[in-house]
Amino acid sequence: MPAKTGGSHAIAAFVTLLVGTMLSKYLWSVAPPLGEAGVLAMTLIRESTGIAVPLTDQFAGSVVVMVGLSFVWGVVYHFSRHG
């Protein structure tokens, strides 16, 4: 059981990293307001947690897209496993 769920999490992390980076570059060029929303979200998270991480527009956009992809992957995995 742990190998099955662990494998799913590992694949999800890897796919999210790759696809999220590529997709965020595309979304930033096609929909700049989405990228700006990513920067705003990351700024709010950074201010509320007090973590001092250097923030670039590309990084913020990538993180927002990766979180979204991870959420979708989790929902799909949950419904496919638990019906």
Q: 77 near 12, Cβ under 8 Å?
A: yes
- Please give the Cα distance from 75 to 24 (Å, whole number): 21
Tell me how far CA of residue 59 lies from CA of 7, 12, 24, in angstroms. 26, 19, 9
Give the position of tokens 């527009």.
Answer: 57
Predicted pLDDT of residue 3: 61
pTM score, two decimals? 0.63
Give the position of tokens 């949950």.
Answer: 78
Q: Mean pLDDT per segment of 10 residues, for the chain of length 83 residues?
A: 68 81 76 75 82 73 79 84 77
Amino acid at 51: I
